[in-house]
Structure 1
């Protein structure tokens, strides 16, 4: 079983890989020049990484969906140009059929890095007003997470990821963050019980 030191080392290494990847692809400047200021959020932004996944949020108006769709081709060519093959790219326009979490645009990018490690980058283009609310909420979350037991979060995320059909099904990273903030326990079983009690 991993130790706290090993989990911290893994999180640090993954964050360094993520930042190197963003630098190599020039993704953030591309998004900034095309749509406006992007924000690296999720586990990469919070420095709580246990797997190779990057979330990027920005504000994108509904009428800009053609530019957002064209972004897929631009990204594929850019990745190819630096020696990375974009294996799969999932496009979603939730302005057409709004998701309960909010209206916006999405690209899910799946690829392997230069040494064969699988990555996923989630690009979220939210409605501007919604994006502003999300930015404020995220600032509050970052402040709360800064006071939490960081290793508890890394351990629970690692354990949840190791269980088949568990992370994203029974619990999410958001659940783990809220559980840690609430200081409601120290294991996944306690998390499940806490989650069930708070969903009533």
Structure 2
């Protein structure tokens, strides 16, 4: 196992929380610059989810979910066209994950999925994930964010610290992501990046070498 920090100084902790607050404020600006929620509301009920909703941000990644009644691809892309045509949007990838391509294989999880790369007027690069669900039933994401917001401060700080360290690795977030870190802290007692690596190696999920 590589040498990983086992102690977080008060100064380091303060810097982590200051960066989290700055990223959350910047995320709100991005939503306003793209008028994203207003465009998404043409389809259904838009919801800010993920780390921006839980207050545990370590990088410029924004997640939006939209609960709808079975929209088609044309309807989705037409509603979001003002966002896609924004001059700051440098890339847009679309995938229709319906039928057998549902992310879980279940009909209730069918969605239209877009990933945008956006550069702000200040020059900051953001990744924006938009899931347009083909169901208007409540999703678990908001409840998950609420539970994370209500965790004890020491648990939230452990999550933020581990996410900050891990987000610098190539495995994050595709192979090992926030959900893995949340579970390790809340369910398995991880409190440091070294603890998290030990947890991963114990279940053979990844090597920290």
When normalised by structure 2's length, the TM-score is: 0.79
What count of residue pairs does the alignment treat as equivalent? 187
In terms of fraction of residues, the more helix-rich structure is: 1
Aligned counterpart, 2:165: 159
1:181 aligned to which of 169, 178, 186: 186
Aligned counterpart, 2:102: 98
Aligned counterpart, 1:17: 26
1:87 aligned to which of 80, 87, 90: 90
| 1:169/1:17 CA distance change after superposition, 3 Å | closer
Unaligned runs of 5+ in 2: 6-10
What CA distance in whole angstroms lies between the structure 1 residues aligned with 2:104 and 2:50? 19
Aligned counterpart, 2:58: 50
SS in 1 for 2:57: coil
What CA distance in whole angstroms lies between the structure 2 residues aligned with 1:168 and 1:39? 21
Structure 1 vs Structure 2 CA RMSD = 2.4
| Residue 106 of structure 1, CA deviation | 1.1
Higher relative contact order by CA 8 Å / sep ≥ 6: 1 or 2? 2
Q: What do residues 76-113 of structure 1 show as CA deviations (whole Å, max 9, x unaligned)? A: 33x23xxxx21100111111522226311111110211
Aligned counterpart, 1:120: 127
What CA distance in whole angstroms lies between the structure 2 residues aligned with 1:145 and 1:193? 28
| 1:173/1:140 CA distance change after superposition, 3 Å | closer
| Residue 57 of structure 1, CA deviation | 0.6
When normalised by structure 1's length, the TM-score is: 0.82
What CA distance in whole angstroms lies between the structure 2 residues aligned with 1:117 and 1:93? 28
